[in-house]
Amino acid sequence: MPATSTGTWFIGTLVVPAGEKKWGGFAEIQARSNGLFQQFFYNELKGGVSYDLDKNFSLMVAGGRYATYDHHDLSTGPLNVEMRLWQQLTINQYLARLKFEHRYRVEQRWFTYRDGTNPFRSRIRYRLNTFIPLNHLTVTDNTFFLSIYDEIFLNPVGPVFERNRFYAGVGFQFDQHLILQLGLVNQTNYNPATFDSGVFTPQSASGKNNVVIGLIYRLNRRSNNERLPTQPD
């Protein structure tokens, strides 16, 4: 089957917002396809616990399972399974209609490949996410909004710049519980330059566009703070 230029990401998230005692959390399932609504090859199952230092600063500890398959034959089982743990700091800024979210994350990643190898990797991520409500000053019931973010992925052992992820989309918050988002994400992976047997190969990049369909359901928790309709991942 020929390679496809556009994939699909489906994201379903259950959010427990921080309440009066400042504790919250989330659970999420995600599926990705190599083609547009076809050739599924990847899934994620993850969750975490958060604690709000105040309305603008939040800490999180979370983890998940990430499995990658050969989309030509899913019955053969995963090519690799990753178990991941991360620690995260999120900072929110509210400038009238414009909302910013700064997210800093440190990850520990354990892989199990089909050939039996078990490498360990770590990674640092930073995401700047911007929200613009369109028909209200805040993101509240019956609000259309834009969401635009860029996230960089850094490898502390090198090569440093590993991946870039750029997303732009539109969403609708039906009420305090239900949020639907539709967007497009471009994910570009960077391979390091090499010098092997006297041949220099410069750094290369491979990118792919993906349609993103995200559904968020929030449980009801008592709070007067504006909640940004952010995607946990």
Inter-residue contact 113 to 100 (CB < 8 Å): no
Is residue 154 within 8 A of residue 125, CB to CB? The reply is yes
Q: What is the DSSP letter of 198?
A: T
Q: What is the pLDDT of residues 182-212, one digit of tens each?
A: 999 999 998 765 555 554 444 567 889 999 9
Tell me the pLDDT band of 71, cut-offs 50, 70 and 90. confident
The pLDDT value recorded for residue 201 is 46
- Per-residue pLDDT for 87 more than 80? yes
pLDDT at 24 over 50: yes
Domain ranges of the chain: 6-218
Instruction: Sort strands 6-16 and 204-218 into parallel, antiparallel or unpaired.
Output: parallel
**33 within 8 A of 40, measured Cβ to Cβ:** yes
Single out the residue of 141, 223, 136 nearest to residue 175, CA to CA: 141
pLDDT at res. 233: 78
pLDDT at 43: 97
> What is the average per-residue pLDDT within 87-102?
95
Distance between first and last Cα of the chain: 30
What's the mean pLDDT in 5-18? 95
From residue 216, alpha-carbon distances to 124, 177, 229 in Å are 25, 8, 8
For residues 26 and 178, what is the distance between their CA atoms, to the nearest angstrom?
14
Q: Which residues pair with 211 in a beta bridge?
A: 8, 184
Q: What is the pLDDT of residue 72?
A: 87
pTM of the model: 0.90
- Measured over the CA atoms of residue 104, residue 85, residue 53 and residue 21, the dihedral's sign is positive
CA distance 209 to 203: 20
Range with lowest mean pLDDT among 33-47, 141-155, 165-179, 218-232: 218-232
Looking from the CA of 92 toward its CB, the CA atoms found within 13 Å total 19
Q: Note the pLDDT tens digit of each residue in 113-126.
A: 999 999 999 999 99
Residue linked to tokens 């489906």: 10
The DSSP result for 126-160, as a single string, is EEEEEEEESSSSSS-TTEEEEEEEEEEEE-TTS-S
* pLDDT band per the 50, 70, 90 thresholds, residue 1: very low
pLDDT at 223: 67
CATH of domain 6-218: 2.40.160
